[in-house]
Amino acid sequence: MCGIFGYVGNKKAIPIVLEGLKTLEYRGYDSAGVAGISQGKTLFYKDKGKIGHLAKLLEKKRLEVEAAIAHTRWATHGKVNSLNAHPHFDAHETLAIVHNGIIENFQKLKSDLVAQGIAFVSETDSEVIAQLFAFHFQGNLKQTLLKILPLLEGSFAIAGVHRNFPKDIFVACKNSPLAIGVGESEYFVSSDVNGFLKYTNKVIFLENHEIGLIQPSGLKIYNEKGEIVAKQTESITSKIEEISKLHYPHFTLKEIYDQPESINRLFKNRFEEEFGAICLKDMGIDEETFMETSRILILACGTSWHAGSVGAYLFESLSRIPTQVEISSEFRYKNPIVMKDTLVIAISQSGETADTLAAVHELKAKGAKVIAVCNREGSELSRLSDHTLFIQAGPEIGVCSTKAFTNQVVLLSLLALHLGRMHHLSKEEGIHFIREIKKLPGLVSEVLSCADEIHVLAKKYNHFTHFFFIGRSYMYPTSLEAALKLKEMSYIHAQAYPAGELKHGPIALIDSNCPTVALFGNKHTFSKLLSNMMEIKAREGPILAFAPRGFDEVSSIVDDVFWLPDTCDEFASIPTSVALQLFSYYMALERGCDIDQPRNLAKSVTVE
């Protein structure tokens, strides 16, 4: 979603912020802009379209500023056009601000300012911050921020420059992340630490209600009372090399191919095979928490919710612990009941998803213990939760989640086995499951080695405009994820159902123009799924099956089969999902879609 980047230091600020914006491109955006102060004037350039377009505009202008702020906008309030793009200004252009988040009471604040004779130029909620700032400004940046921030309802990360302070950037945040990169006599401001990793891995995270004043010579952070806060500088371990496409045409394809390695990374030092045990000691969660858990509540959105839904089957089957999985945006408004001994697991690749953060805030306020399952070090979710289990997938740049999904499912499998062994699984069962799970990187590699076969299938099926995806048990959430991948990457309408539900209504849509992708990875329900296939065939629906090798009966019924390497039902989601990620990728490739940055989507959904 929207991205903020800022720079103060001795180097040329504009090229640095443009480069910084490029690293945030993957978050999804529709317009971009920069601003800085030069010779007592606020200078800015902004337009709809890509950063490359902005860079071309700036080439001609030779903009020299000492501090610069920049932004990529993902439209929420107002159309995609240059007026609505950030930065925003006050009526006299004394300052410029960029903003992530949503100011929920902007209409009221705006009409109060309009009543004072202040003219607005954009349709955005963000402009009100600039206008309000100028209205209350009496010469002091900090005092002005202390005055206006309590007036803003909603969420915000703000960076700004003021013509009276050409070397300063001011920053503030509430429920929207903002990180400050600390270099040698230079500072970077970014909504995402990846933005400045090229320059420094030293970072300060701004907490809710904190204000920062940044100059090349130093940085001061204040709390909401205006008192100085002593902040710790943290070191980030991600490396810049991890954020490269290498020889792949798309980040998404690279990330699909990363999966054997990313699963292996997660496996390192996790198995005590002779005891049938999983080792999670280093993750810092005391065994008592696990022992006392009698109920699990999983919260997440999108792909992470699908991973959580596979996790719910795993916790119930392997750990025998009742598990509820909820979409964060729905859960939050249910006035949730938090029972004693409930372990809350909040799953988020980015750790920035506003809906999940809001649900976690709600639960923390009710006294719940929250474990985050997250990919991003230093993310807001990780800082908010009692513990974080990192999925170690490495940076995921493609907007469509692939390797994060598999590592989320693998991590939940390890956790389910660990809890299972504590509660009821025998040592022999533990050994059996460890042997199976350890095969996963090899099985994923096998699937990847058959990518060409999947490409051939995509060439055959890419002209269809509606698809059903069906599966039973573990294959139902797997089909939800597969359908989401197809929608996101190829813009083809796809809907997932538990296979048994088809006959309760959706079957009305089956005909020769509506193919079904059937996921056979659950052997326990194999014969039931075969009967569902007969029902579809009776209505002339084309069927593409993804089935484990050896289940030859499938091929006599369906039109096409991709044969998957066999594993136990519990872990079949992994090879199946990888095959379906490739299917969506090739479908999108055949249709000429923007695979890494699909239209309308954002990598980190930072608004509710």
Residues classed as catalytic? 2, 603
CB-based contact 411:374 (threshold 8 Å):
no
Nearest distance from C-beta of residue 300 to ligand M6R, angstroms: 6
Nearest distance from C-beta of residue 400 to ligand M6R, angstroms: 4
Quote the CA–CA distance of 361 and 373 in Å, as a whole number: 16
Q: Which is nearer to ligand M6R, 122 or 348 (CB)?
A: 348
Quote the CA–CA distance of 91 and 319 in Å, as a whole number: 61
Instruction: Say how many Å lie between the first and final Cα of the chain, rounded.
Output: 12
DSSP string over 70-85: EEEE--SSS-SSTTTS
Quote the CA–CA distance of 92 and 94 in Å, as a whole number: 5
Nearest distance from C-beta of residue 193 to ligand M6R, angstroms: 15
Q: Which is nearer to ligand M6R, 132 or 307 (CB)?
A: 307
Sign of the dihedral defined by the CA atoms of residues 326, 327, 328, 332, in that order: negative
The neighbouring-strand residues paired with 172 are 158, 211
With CA atoms as reference, report the closest residue to 251 among 409, 459, 400. Answer: 400
Residue 275 is classified by DSSP as G
Quote the CA–CA distance of 33 and 569 in Å, as a whole number: 50
Nearest distance from C-beta of residue 481 to ligand M6R, angstroms: 8
Q: Which is nearer to ligand M6R, 353 or 385 (CB)?
A: 353
Nearest distance from C-beta of residue 356 to ligand M6R, angstroms: 5
Q: Which is nearer to ligand M6R, 496 or 601 (CB)?
A: 601
Nearest distance from C-beta of residue 137 to ligand M6R, angstroms: 36
Cα angle for residues 546, 405, 2 (degrees, 5° grid) = 130
Quote the CA–CA distance of 510 and 538 in Å, as a whole number: 10
In this structure, which amino acid lies at residue 233?
Answer: T
Nearest distance from C-beta of residue 176 to ligand M6R, angstroms: 14
Quote the CA–CA distance of 171 and 189 in Å, as a whole number: 8
Q: Which is nearer to ligand M6R, 259 or 604 (CB)?
A: 604
Q: Which residue is nearest to ligand M6R (CB)?
A: 302
Nearest distance from C-beta of residue 98 to ligand M6R, angstroms: 22
CB-based contact 29:72 (threshold 8 Å):
yes
Quote the CA–CA distance of 135 and 113 in Å, as a whole number: 8
DSSP H or E stretch at residue 53 = helix 51-61
The counts of H helices and E strands in the chain are 20, 26
Quote the CA–CA distance of 132 and 548 in Å, as a whole number: 62
Q: How would you list the strands of the sheet with 342-348, edge to edge?
A: 323-327, 295-300, 342-348, 369-374, 387-390
Nearest distance from C-beta of residue 228 to ligand M6R, angstroms: 33
Q: Which is nearer to ligand M6R, 350 or 413 (CB)?
A: 350
Q: Which is nearer to ligand M6R, 19 or 255 (CB)?
A: 255
Tokens of 204: 């300060």
Q: Which is nearer to ligand M6R, 42 or 606 (CB)?
A: 606
The runs of H, that is alpha helices, within 321-353 are 328-331
Q: Which is nearer to ligand M6R, 360 or 554 (CB)?
A: 360
Q: Enumerate residues 6+ apart whose C-beta is below 8 A from 225.
A: none
Chain residues in the site for ligand M6R (CB under 6 A): 301-304, 348-350, 353, 356, 399-401, 488, 601, 604-605
Q: Enumerate residues 6+ apart whose C-beta is below 8 A from 74.
A: 1, 2, 27, 28, 29, 30, 602
Nearest distance from C-beta of residue 385 to ligand M6R, angstroms: 13
Q: Enumerate residues 6+ apart whose C-beta is below 8 A from 197.
A: 23, 236, 238, 239, 240, 243
CA distances to 463, 499, 540 from 480, rounded to whole Å, are 21, 12, 23
Q: Which is nearer to ligand M6R, 215 or 238 (CB)?
A: 238
Quote the CA–CA distance of 352 and 271 in Å, as a whole number: 31
Quote the CA–CA distance of 199 and 29 in Å, as a whole number: 24
In this structure, which amino acid lies at residue 454?
Answer: I
Q: Which is nearer to ligand M6R, 96 or 595 (CB)?
A: 595
Nearest distance from C-beta of residue 463 to ligand M6R, angstroms: 24
